[in-house]
Amino acid sequence: MIVNIHEAKTNFSKLIARFLDGEKIVIAKNGKPVLQFAPVEKKEPQLRSIGFFNCDIDMSTFDDPIEEMKEYE
């Protein structure tokens, strides 16, 4: 089914219902197709594993004084 933009705005809910029933819906501007309804891909949610921040950080010197800041002590 091809409908113009004005008709699509007026009957948007009805067009969605027809699309969900399996009909192909194309929106046209000045009689030329510009877009069509398409289903959204449903992706399975990806679960984050515990400890997703896995990297090697050396924290042994974390509390050591910063050389550049020694003059302010």
- The confidence score (pLDDT) of residue 25 equals 95
Q: Are residues 49 and 27 in contact, defined by beta-carbon separation less than 8 angstroms?
A: no
Phi, psi of 48, rounded to the nearest 5 degrees: -80, 140
Burial class (CB in 10 A: 0-12, 13-18, 19+), 42: exposed
Tens-level pLDDT at each residue, the chain (73 residues): 999 999 999 999 999 999 999 999 999 999 999 999 999 888 888 877 666 566 677 778 888 888 888 777 7
The domains found in the chain, sorted by start residue, are 1-38 (3.40.1620)
Q: What does the block give as tokens for 10? A: 């007026």
| Separation of alpha carbons 47 and 42, rounded Å | 15
Q: What does the block give as tokens for 16? A: 């969605």
Q: Considering the entire predicted model, what is its pTM?
A: 0.55
